[in-house]
Amino acid sequence: DVKVTQSSRYLVKRTGEKVFLECVQDMDHENMFWYRQDPGLGLRLIYFSYDVKMKEKGDIPEGYSVSREKKERFSLILESASTNQTSMYLCAIEFPRAAGYDNEQFFGPGTRLTVL
Partner 1 sequence: AQKVTQAQTEISVVEKEDVTLDCVYETRDTTYYLFWYKQPPSGELVFLIRRNSFDEQNEISGRYSWNFQKSTSSFNFTITASQVVDSAVYFCALSEADTGGFKTIFGAGTRLFVKA
Q: How far is the CB of 116 from partner 1 (least distance, A)?
A: 22
Question: Considering only residues 24, 27, 60, 88, which one is a binding residue for partner 1 as defined by CB under 8 A?
Answer: 88
Helix (H, G, I), strand (E, B) or coil at 105: strand
113 strand-pairing partners: 11, 87
107 touches partner 1 by CB under 8 A:
yes
Distances 101 to 57, 95, 98, 104, 112 between C-alpha atoms, Å: 24, 6, 7, 7, 29
List 65's β-bridge partners, or say none: 77
Residue 3 Cβ, how far from partner 1 at the closest point, in Å? 12
- Contact string (CB under 8 A) for partner 1, positions 15-54, x = contact: ----------------x-x-x----xxxxxx--x-x---x
Strand partners, 49: 32
Q: Are 66 and 55 in contact (CB under 8 A)?
A: yes
**Positions that interact with partner 1 (CB under 8 A):** 31, 33, 35, 40-45, 48, 50, 54, 56, 58-59, 88, 90, 92, 94, 101-110
